């Protein structure tokens, strides 16, 4: 993932998770230190491919320092069950300018 871009984040889930019954989905991205945290609820759920995806706005990438970021998915199903993914870690690469284009 790169600062200054609008990355498409795609989370691949286990086929055991029945995405067609998801009522609410939250994706949380946090800096490694936890000082910056963004939550996304406008996501695309593809039950056939077992993926959840969203486009992270360019502006949001500038809120994080370059380095490790953590990502966690939280799902609420129609029957009231709530599940969370393990916390994933990825690298946010730096950008030479903090300008929105």
Domain assignment present for residue 2? The answer is no
CATH of the domain at 44: 2.60.40
| Residue range(s) defining the domain that contains residue 80 | 8-91
Other beta carbons within 10 Å of 90:
13
pLDDT in tens, 74-94: 999 999 999 999 999 999 999
Domain assignment present for residue 100? The answer is no
On the 0-12 / 13-18 / 19+ scale of CB atoms within 10 A, 3 is buried
pLDDT in tens, 53-67: 999 999 999 999 999
Pairing of strands 8-12, 51-55: antiparallel
Burial 4-16 (b: 16+ CB within 10 A, else e): beebebebebeee
Domain count, the chain: 1
Domain assignment present for residue 58? The answer is yes
d(CA 54, CA 56): 6
What is the model's pTM? 0.88
């Amino acid at each position: 993932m790169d600062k200054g871009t609008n990355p498409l984040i795609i989370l691949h889930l286990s086929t055991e998770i029945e995405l067609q019954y998801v009522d609410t989905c939250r994706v949380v991205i946090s800096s490694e230190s936890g000082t910056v945290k963004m939550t996304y609820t406008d996501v695309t759920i593809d039950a056939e491919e077992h993926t959840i995806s969203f486009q992270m706005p360019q502006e949001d990438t500038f809120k994080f320092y370059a380095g490790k970021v953590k990502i966690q998915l939280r799902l609420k199903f129609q029957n009231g069950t709530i599940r969370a993914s393990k916390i994933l870690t990825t690298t946010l690469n730096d950008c030479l300018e903090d300008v929105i284009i």
